[in-house]
Amino acid sequence: MNKIKILQTNLGQSRAAHDVANKVAYDRGADLVIISEPNIRLVTKQSYITDTRKEVAVQIINKDIGLVNIEKGEGFIKLVFEEWHLYCCYISPNIPMLTFQTYIDKIMKSIRDGNSEAIFAGDLNAKSALWGSPFTDNRGKYIADWAGASKSYIDVTGATAGIAKKIHGWEVLQDEVLTYHQHIYFEVGSGRRRNNFGAKKVLFDKGVFERNIANRNKELTTGSVEELMSVLKNVTEESSITVRNSGRQTPYWWNAEIETQRRTCLRLRRRLTRGNARNHPGNGELEYMREEYRNSCKNLKKLIRCSKRTHWKVLCNSLEDDIWGKGYQIAMKTLEGQGPPCNLTPNQKVDIAKQLFPETEENWESPNI
């Protein structure tokens, strides 16, 4: 079984959270992303796989993962691989318990009758001490009962016993996500695939460099070579930031300023988490930390919007000079969709051609031109 890297998340229908999740997926070298509560407008316009209610979506980044078939239902997507199945699920917290039980029964019956190892991942909005909740509600108890009956192992991400042994590196990531949820990352399979994850890559922001160099020009005193070299070195360092490289192309709109702001959000969120553990609700210092973190997240969203808007204008202006360039590539990538690859045998191709162009006994005369 080839190794498949999976990012699992709930994005709370936030478009900005989609942007940040894409960057995390690229950093981790993820092959596919499972999204609960996606932004409906975004996944409708772009090439995502969605369930019938658009409550869960899947983004396939690497098309060479051995996907055989896709099945969709209300609140779930089933990805069929040769040796196992992946169920991507979401259940609203507002549905009645009977509807919840019917949904879980349907998923678990499909897993049990599928005669294949299976993993199910997503936001089930169920609480249980088995996966770290402070208490167990009726939903959590019902899922736990199913898990015990089917000999599965549940820890937010559930799996049948056979494939559970092939899940590696399961972890809750501490990246900033711009929602109340955290990303989950794990790998399935034991095959090795070469990649550059962990290697260093430097992001350079030309706009930040130009602004900083303009400000520093006013501070020059002697204008000596040594002073100019020192200013250039400092401004370059301020305009660059080192990030991990997944071996894939970084999102076109990501820059050093956005990366710095994301790290600031992460630092403030960790401080707020520590503050929540030490202070009581209503504490003035805690409210200040919460407000500072909220403003930092707003600033991150603003930077992402501005960067994407700027790059979009550049892309539109470049179409006149290069119609087969980046704009064409983006359009074709959107049109090609996210389905499994279509591998036809030569005989199948011949059969399709015969159906498209049936043989006829009529004699066609060439028109006189």
**What residue ranges of the chain have pLDDT lower than 50?**
149-155, 193-199
CA distance linking residue 267 with residue 287, whole number of Å? 16
CA distance linking residue 16 with residue 308, whole number of Å? 11
How far are the Cα atoms of 91, 191, 192, 283 from residue 58, in angstroms, in the given order?
Answer: 16, 23, 23, 41
- What is the predicted pLDDT for the residue at 193? 47
N- to C-terminal Cα separation, the chain: 61
Q: Which of 175, 150, 180 is closest to 162 using CA atoms?
A: 150
- What is the predicted pLDDT for the residue at 39? 93
In 3-state terms, what secondary structure has residue 63? coil
Q: Which of 121, 143, 11, 127 is closest to 76 using CA atoms?
A: 121
- What is the predicted pLDDT for the residue at 233? 76
Residues across the chain: 369
- What is the predicted pLDDT for the residue at 130? 61
- What is the predicted pLDDT for the residue at 197? 45
- What is the predicted pLDDT for the residue at 116? 83
How far are the Cα atoms of 61, 78, 100, 203, 231 from residue 34, in angstroms, in the given order?
Answer: 11, 11, 21, 27, 46
| Prediction pTM value | 0.66
Q: Kindly report, residue by residue over 311-325, the tens digit of the pLDDT.
A: 888 888 887 777 777
- What is the predicted pLDDT for the residue at 196? 44
- What is the predicted pLDDT for the residue at 244? 53
- What is the predicted pLDDT for the residue at 194? 43
CA distance linking residue 222 with residue 242, whole number of Å? 32
Give CA torsion, residues 42, 181, 61, 13, to 10 deg.
Answer: -10
CA distance linking residue 279 with residue 285, whole number of Å? 9
* 103 CB-contact burial (10 Å; exposed 0-12 / middle 13-18 / buried 19+): buried
CA within 13 Å, CB half, 315: 16
Residue 289 token pair: 């930390």
Q: Which of 245, 234, 253 is closest to 202 using CA atoms?
A: 245
